[in-house]
């Protein structure tokens, strides 16, 4: 039957019969959960089991955006109130090792939460390096405006997730930090020189290029390709992401339904594959939109299949931990004051 090069969302807290039939026919590589799919731990666990039962391949990637702060699909009262990424940068500025440890702890505990539900991929870390005046779509999700700090904290976040058997997705490659508009609503155009991009935006991705998965940015970089955003630019993907940055893992696009991309959803999917994406992502759970994307998406084969298999081989890694002790240490750091501000409220 073959596995289709897609990651799809679903519409609610459980699958409709039409969704089950569609997923069984299409055999998407993976699935992604959003807030509309989350109520209680038992409900999420059941939904994940439903999704996995629709496909015949093992080690199905189940993705979620659990960053902390305003981007977290799992929330109190059932899950921890994790802080936003900038908090770790603030701690790092006072004590480097504390900032790194704090970031690792959060990711390690997120992995505990996710794996209990059957979720095995977190779309984290955000490696974007913001500049003054950029749109706050990244904002407090960024660890810092300094590439070296973003790199250190991003690596800690990846390692925390992987220690708990959950795989990271570095995003938004090759960098969303300079975007002047929200790519969910419009197409950002970045005019920075290639030298500036290499010294700042690309650096965290280059330093973490061994990570298993990355998500593209729907951003035009005029010095590289003046017409096409990274997601659909063969030049950006080949010359920058694969060659300069050196990323060899599985490359997925950001959500195809975002307004930064133009044209039909079918054409958006085709353009992403033509540019060099391995897998396309569609998040809103609208089955009417998923059908043309599925029709335009190839079965996994060649290098894309090899990269997907490399991802699957990593799911077995999971180190035991004393979760209660880690949560105690984490909450102690959450209660620490930075610049007179409670870090759990910073950036909200």
Task: Provide the annotated active-site residues.
Answer: 184, 254
Concatenated DSSP letters of 224-265: T-SSS-GGG-HHIIIIIIIIIS---SEEEPSPTTSTTS-S-H
Concatenated DSSP letters of 49-118: HHHHHT-SSSS--EEE-EEETTEESS-TTTS--PPPTHHHHHHHHH-HHHHHHHHHHHHHHHHHHHHHHT
Instruction: Please state, in angstroms and rounded to a whole number, the distance separating the CA atoms of residues 24 and 13.
Output: 18
CA atoms within 13 A on the CB side of 313: 9
3-state secondary structure of 270: helix
∠153-68-285 over CA atoms, to 5°? 120
CA torsion, points 15, 16, 17, 19, in degrees to nearest 10? -70
């Amino acid at each position: 039957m073959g596995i289709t090069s897609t990651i799809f969302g679903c519409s609610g807290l459980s699958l409709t019969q039409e969704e089950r039939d569609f997923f069984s026919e299409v055999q998407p590589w993976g699935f992604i959960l959003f807030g509309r799919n989350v109520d209680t731990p038992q409900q999420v666990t059941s939904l994940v089991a439903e999704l996995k039962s629709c496909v015949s391949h093992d080690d199905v990637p189940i993705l979620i955006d659990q960053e902390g702060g305003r981007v977290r699909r799992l929330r109190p009262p059932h899950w921890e109130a994790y802080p936003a990424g900038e908090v770790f940068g603030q701690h790092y500025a006072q004590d480097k090792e504390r900032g790194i440890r704090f970031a690792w702890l959060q990711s390690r505990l997120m992995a505990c939460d996710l794996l209990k539900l059957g979720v095995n991929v977190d779309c984290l870390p955000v490696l974007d390096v913001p500049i003054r005046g950029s749109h706050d779509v990244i904002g407090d999700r960024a660890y810092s405006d300094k590439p070296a700090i973003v790199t250190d904290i991003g690596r800690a976040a990846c390692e925390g997730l992987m220690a708990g058997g959950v795989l990271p997705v570095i995003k938004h490659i090759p960098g969303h930090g300079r975007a002047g508009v929200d790519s969910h609503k419009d197409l950002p155009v970045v005019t920075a020189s290639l030298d500036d991009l290499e010294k700042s935006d690309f650096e965290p991705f280059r330093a973490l290029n061994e990570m298993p998965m990355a998500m593209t940015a729907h951003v035009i970089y005029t010095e590289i390709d003046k017409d096409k955003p990274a997601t659909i630019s063969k030049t950006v993907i080949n010359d920058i992401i694969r060659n300069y940055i050196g990323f060899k893992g599985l490359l997925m696009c950001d959500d195809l339904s975002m307004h930064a991309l133009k044209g039909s959803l079918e054409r958006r999917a085709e353009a992403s594959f033509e540019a060099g994406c391995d897998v396309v992502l569609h998040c809103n759970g609208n089955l009417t939109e998923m059908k043309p994307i599925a029709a335009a998406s190839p079965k996994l084969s060649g290098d894309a299949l090899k990269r997907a298999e490399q991802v699957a081989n990593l799911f077995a890694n999971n180190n035991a931990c004393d979760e209660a002790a880690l949560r105690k240490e984490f909450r102690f750091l959450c209660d620490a004051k930075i610049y007179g501000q409670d870090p759990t409220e910073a950036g909200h």
